[in-house]
Structure 1
Amino acid sequence: MGVYLAAGWAALEFTDFLVNRYVLSPHLTDLALLTWALLIPTVFILAWFHGAPGPDRWTRVEKIGIPVNLAIAAVFLIVVFGGKELGAATESVTMEDETGEAVERVVPKREFRKGLVIYFFDNASADTALDWLQYGVPMALDLDLEQDLFVDARDAGTLMERFRERGFDDGLDIPFALKRELAENLGLGYFLSGSVSREQDRLLVTTSLYETRRGRLIQEREYVGSDPLELVDRISAQIRSDVEIPSQHIEETADLPVSEMLTSSLSAYRSYVNGVVLAIVSSDLAEAAREFQAAVDQDPQFTLGQVVLFEIYLNLNEMGKAQPALQTAMSQLYKLPERTQLQIKAAYFWLIEQDMNKALTAAGMRTELFPEDVEAQLTLAQLYTIIGDRDRAIAAFERAIGIDPSRINVLIQIGELYASKGEFEKAIDYQERYSAQAPNDTRGFIALGNLYRAMGDHESARREYDKALAIDPNNVSAMTRQAQVDGDLGRFDEALEGYREALATSVTSDQRRVVYGAFEDYYELRGQPQKAVDYMHLRWAEHERSEGPFSAVQEKLQDLDLYVAAGMIEAARDTLASVEGQLAPPFDVLVPLGQLAISLEREDADSIEAALQGFERFIQAFSVEYARVNAVFAEGRVLDLRGDCEQAIYSYKRALELEPRQTEMDVYIGRCYRKLGRLSEAKSHLQRALDVRPFNPRAHYEMGVAYADEGDDAKAREHLQTALDIWADAEPGFEPAQEARDKLIELGGAA
């Protein structure tokens, strides 16, 4: 018996050696241990009956006991290890890089990756000079661990929205229970907390590594030194050992000092950290830009600093400063872990080289090399959405939520994609799943209400908005949507009062922007485009405050048609010229968005056609096929304005297929059918528009003219009067209202 125990222990040690030496499945060690333990009864029986010298006969106990023990052991081992990977812990993956070359990587199999959340640290001293290290040490540690494919580390910066939802706006002093809860929701096996303080004249960093499932402390360690980045290197190496990554893999894997990937200048790194805090905590992009610029001025080789400087300058619409920063970063990519390299490459190939195929290749490589990286799947989904491949986008989103079931907000995005395909039942299913999993989150009910409103089910929409308001009576989005339902149903006074209440409740730029947009739509519907322009200006100002100048410029380009509708053509041209002066290459291709908006509202077929050429260059440059619907609609308008209604209908219907929720397209189709004398088809499409928006004045006007052409003057007058009631307070010179009055008078009605 003693020999068996000794031999078993030796075999167990040898198995453990093989697992670590050849990076095999750690389950093999457990298999060896359990097999050794399960066979002890058989060894005991043999020792008992055959331990003495001399020949022995097989007894009844042995004939029954040993087979039973072996059978039980076999069943037990199958139950415990059935379905578990017992071979190598790694596998070879072959893929193509952005140049088309085959690339082979050895990557860990999914079940052997170690997931870890790194929370921001505490300042355990009274020395405020250490405050920046609360963020700086964890951020550097996250980057350092990115070098190891066995580690899936999550920086606490990715959790800022969740922290804010719980009242921790700066991401600091998070309670232990919440840390464990968030790590568990992310499906990660470990989480790390820590603190920084002083020990005499040196820095003391304390780390606590916990197992997520039980909240058990695995290791608490202290690191003392004068250089925080050198301490990060030591912490990183120890963490990989503490989470039981195979020792042979650790020895063979390149582990660059984190200062090589970041910067050897502590003052430069401090400026970088300050910039990150200003961006993610204070949302002060201008001040953040100054800190990032200071970081790269102190160390021009600070690659990651150059990357974030590009992002900030892009948001600030300072492309002259943004592009050189990214170009510099691209020349130094070798300094960064491969995961980060691929993320930067995807952005560079799309935005600067304007090569979406390369961008998709880089993003796809990231998902293959890092299959547990949720952000990689989300990036891929966003790129597929941009190119209009909604099915692949949905698949990538599904993979993301499969990796991290807590990312339930992805369900809303999937529902939105199904809605954009016209598959409303599937869209409803996803939105309801979100609401069921997050019953106290207003976003799910608002998204579901928006979907019902797009389908013309106003009562269901109102019900969902009511649910959101029951959770948060001051939810500005839900208040605004409720008022929009009132407007859809012709309750205009109630709608206007609802918007005023929502505006009075608003406290953020985003909230005010939403409400100003609703006011703008309201006055445009009522035939008051000049008043709508006033609210458009207010919306623009809030947009720039919340999103930055670059995003605001893009929004302006798409809104210039309202100036034309208000008779302010010079304002439209002046704004277009101003924006054109602000957009440097490669983003100067955005200018045709404004040219097309102006031309469409002017109903000038030749200028629409000319603007379409530039718009097509915009689509091709950035592969924004999701914008194809606008080009197809514009093609229909050219044909319509030139009198070719047959072909115009084809374009309008194609546009409706691309975006089934654009029910205004039914008005254009109905008008074309009316012009062709196909009145039944005209009324069918116009009724579809009215089913969704019962008080659409243009649809009522066209329906009235269709009935007049059919000889049903009574119904014609009814629809024309409804249009005029909606336009009762229309501004002088608003032509559609005048056309409706003239038609009503022609039919013997009182205008």
Structure 2
Amino acid sequence: MEEQSSKQKWIKTLKFLAAYLVAAWTFLQFIDWVLNRYDISPNWVDLLLWVFVGVIPSVLIYFYNQDRINDGILKLREKIIFPLNLILLAVITYLGFGNSDLGATTKEISYTNDAGNLATQVITKEEFRVGLPIYAFEAKTQDTAFSWLQDGIQELLYQDLSQDKSISPYMSDSEGIVNKVAEARIFNEYYLDGTYEVTDSVFKIIPTIRNAKNGKILKQQTFEGKDLLNLLDDISIFTKSNIGLTENMRDFYIDLNLKDFYSNSLEAVKYNIEGDYQKAQEADSTFAISYFENAFRFIRYSFGEESEKELINKAYKYSNKLPLQKQLQIRILRHIAYEEWEIAEKLIKLQLEIDPSNETYNQLLYAVYGETKQTRAFAKHAQDRFDKNKSIDNGTNLINASLVSGNYDEIISAIKGLELIQPDNPDLFTFKLRPQLLKGDIKAAKKTQERTKLMHPQWKNFTPVFDSVIDYLSENKITVDKLEKFVGKYRYQGSEQTYDYWIEDDRLLTYVSNQQIYAPILAGDYKVILSGYITRNINHIEFLTDSIKTIYGTKNINYSYKDPSYFYYWLYDKSIEDAENALKNNELDKAELLYKQAIDKHPNHFFLKLALQHITYVKSTSEKELIQQYQNVSGNYSARRFWIENNQLYYERQGATKLRLYPISENRYISLARYSTQYTFEETESGKLASAVYTYNNETKTWSKDMENNNYLLKDD
């Protein structure tokens, strides 16, 4: 009889439990609707689910003994279990949701608009945005005329989807489902790839939204038509509709058509995707994004101050049709081009409030921090950025920033943690090598290096570089005395790019102009290493010394999958900078004195003597004769153009930077932006004028005519 009564009580208890679960589920559905309706954090649903599930032990005990408990009679076990259940539930939910945002999914941001006035915008908080890796679309049939679409569809969809602040899209070049899933699954629910083909001018594109955890197809649709850009607009809508964005969310942000803000010329779009900015801008003279991308490239690699300003000014001129974020990027880059660092930093930080995942903004901020040597701010921003969005790119930047700030143990621990999450990732362990070497843990570095060579035999082009570093550091300890001799600024002989080395907290740091700060690894008495396996691109820097071991320059050797590349940089101090500024301002007497002083200080700098030769030539030649000399060579030489501006000779090659030329003889010129190049004019046997280029050979210390790469050009008729 007692057994039957117990059975009935359990049946009754399970009925109550079922009713409880149904009521809880219904309540959660209602809460989910309310949260979506009023843009409140969806974390509440997860939190309440844990609460409803977490109290089930107490609920079961109550339902089974409700008659007695309702009469206020509790046994000892219930006096223990009920509070313990609540305490454990509170601890678990705090650990799980203590750092979660339980407020609104949106926030109001203030920013400075184009008129200089303060404006506001409501945007989705980054932690509530849908991460979306976008991979290259594969061609179903080989067609060289449309091979550019493999990267082009990816790029254009990224540009279009970036307008919606409910999404955090990014592009990746990973190939194959296994590699895509390995990359995308950590931080994302979905990823986008697809296929395309072109038949008789009809584009057929099949975008595929996949589950980032296993690569399974979640949604696929065929888009077909003759207007590529319209198709891509439709694919953007299809994508947003199938990655969890409700109609209200999709309508929250302005969605401009690609033709309206990118370009309405497919020819211009093609050239821009291929990186031929000159032709892209010829096809569409108002192509603001093309001007911006070219200016960004020029500034990032310090190609030339005059062209940098000219390009960014054109981008600014045609920027009104762009999405707000693109307009702001152009304004910020313009401040950087004019070296208005303080204004640029303030604007970047404001815009990062709106678009914290934007790679362009973050790269620009890293450049500002490098220019102003704000290493702590650099490290803090990288950490904050990773905490909010744990993407691969953010993790890579965090590793570099942590090396700069000397947080070696934290990096190693973080990488070990990622290895547990991704045990099949063959690359993660290699990232420990740099912090191990900088920390001085040579024993651990040797183990990492041996495992790297075993796991990655294809890296044979650059693993020997780290072998030599390990051998050196096994016998030599890193000390400030060994690092101090590297301090100084070094300028590339082929552009205006500089490396600035300094000591901070007993560590050697370097800033590459308009890029970011790095932590070099001592690799020899006069050698350091930049970067590591994380980029598959090793920069091995040998410091050049004279007979008394005084450093006057560097030989930068770049190791990658290809043959090594060599780049020469020269110690660049205030004496050289002052001399060049005087020459640019046509203060010839002052420049002559300053160059002579600079030559005494830097006798190995060949380009200083050439500048002095120019001053001597100009002072011995009348202004009328110089103008006539410039007029004789002005004109177009195929892709080259020479012209007179403000009584000075200028040169520009299609797609390249604008350079002011300085004569050192009647037919030979130099440029202060390109130390290793001379521009000459000569008459052919047929009487035609030709433009030739001479390049400096650092090994033989001689000049040789460069006849390759279409560098000998006849003047157009």
TM (normalized to structure 2)? Answer: 0.56
1:226 CA drift (Å): 1.5
- Alignment-derived partner of residue 574 in structure 1: 610
Contact 2:206 / 2:223 at 8 angstroms: preserved in 1? yes
- Alignment-derived partner of residue 210 in structure 2: 210
1:216 CA drift (Å): 4.2
The letter of the residue matching 2:609 is R
Contact 1:343 / 1:362 at 8 angstroms: preserved in 2? no
- Alignment-derived partner of residue 118 in structure 1: 134
Contact 2:329 / 2:360 at 8 angstroms: preserved in 1? no
1:467 CA drift (Å): 5.2
Contact 1:97 / 1:365 at 8 angstroms: preserved in 2? no
- 1:645-680 deviations in Å (ceiling 9; x for gaps): xxxxxxxxxxxxxxxxxxxxxxxxxxxxxxxxxxxx
Contact 1:35 / 1:77 at 8 angstroms: preserved in 2? yes
Contact 2:192 / 2:208 at 8 angstroms: preserved in 1? yes
The answer to which structure has the higher helix fraction is 1
- Cα 1:184–1:32 shift into 2, 3 Å: closer
- Alignment-derived partner of residue 465 in structure 2: 477
1:380 CA drift (Å): 2.6
Indicate whether 1:410 and 2:397 are aligned. yes
- Alignment-derived partner of residue 350 in structure 1: 336
TM (normalized to structure 1)? Answer: 0.54
Look up the SS of the partner of 1:188 in the other structure.
coil
Matches within 5 A, 1:96-115: 101-115=117-131
Distance in 1 of aligned mates of 2:263 and 2:567: 28
Distance in 2 of aligned mates of 1:569 and 1:59: 97
Indicate whether 1:301 and 2:327 are aligned. no
Matches within 5 A, 1:177-576: 177-185=178-186, 187-198=187-198, 202-275=202-275, 291-314=276-299, 315=301, 317-352=303-338, 354-373=339-358, 376-377=361-362, 379-402=364-387, 403-404=389-390, 406=392, 407-418=394-405, 426-430=406-410, 432-433=412-413, 436=416, 444-446=432-434, 448-449=436-437, 452=440, 464=445, 468=449, 471-472=452-453, 475=462, 476-479=464-467, 481=469, 514=540, 517-518=542-543, 520-521=544-545, 526=549, 564=600, 567-568=603-604, 572-574=608-610
Distance in 2 of aligned mates of 1:145 and 1:569: 50
Instruction: Give me the identity figure in percent.
Output: 18
Distance in 2 of aligned mates of 1:382 and 1:116: 26
- Cα 1:11–1:441 shift into 2, 3 Å: closer
1:433 CA drift (Å): 4.5
Contact 2:210 / 2:218 at 8 angstroms: preserved in 1? yes
1:266 CA drift (Å): 0.6
CA RMSD between the two structures: 5.8
Distance in 1 of aligned mates of 2:566 and 2:612: 20
| More displaced stretch, 305-314 vs 477-486 | 477-486
Matches within 5 A, 1:686-725: none
Contact 1:98 / 1:358 at 8 angstroms: preserved in 2? no
Look up the SS of the partner of 1:88 in the other structure.
coil
Distance in 2 of aligned mates of 1:433 and 1:398: 15
The letter of the residue matching 1:327 is N
Indicate whether 1:176 and 2:173 are aligned. no
Distance in 2 of aligned mates of 1:325 and 1:387: 24
Please list every run of 5 or more consecutive structure 2 residues that lacks an aligned counterpart in the other structure: 1-14, 57-65, 73-77, 420-426, 454-459, 483-521, 530-534, 559-563, 581-594, 616-647, 661-670, 673-717
The answer to which structure has the higher strand fraction is 2
Distance in 2 of aligned mates of 1:321 and 1:198: 38
1:182 CA drift (Å): 1.1
Contact 1:132 / 1:270 at 8 angstroms: preserved in 2? yes
The letter of the residue matching 2:344 is A
The letter of the residue matching 1:205 is I
Equivalent in 115, 127, 135 of residue 143 of structure 2: 127
- 1:601-628 deviations in Å (ceiling 9; x for gaps): xxxxxxxxxxxxxxxxxxxxxxxxxxxx
Look up the SS of the partner of 2:147 in the other structure.
helix
Aligned length, in residue pairs? 509
Look up the SS of the partner of 1:393 in the other structure.
helix
- Cα 1:376–1:213 shift into 2, 3 Å: farther
1:144 CA drift (Å): 0.9
The letter of the residue matching 2:122 is V
- Cα 1:340–1:75 shift into 2, 3 Å: farther
Look up the SS of the partner of 1:295 in the other structure.
helix
Distance in 2 of aligned mates of 1:32 and 1:569: 71
- Cα 1:213–1:72 shift into 2, 3 Å: farther
- Cα 1:85–1:319 shift into 2, 3 Å: closer
The letter of the residue matching 2:160 is D
- 1:173-232 deviations in Å (ceiling 9; x for gaps): x111211111134x2332111111246752111111123235443212221221121111
- Alignment-derived partner of residue 667 in structure 2: none
- 1:450-478 deviations in Å (ceiling 9; x for gaps): 565xxxxxxx6698478547634653532
The letter of the residue matching 1:364 is K
Matches within 5 A, 1:63-74: none
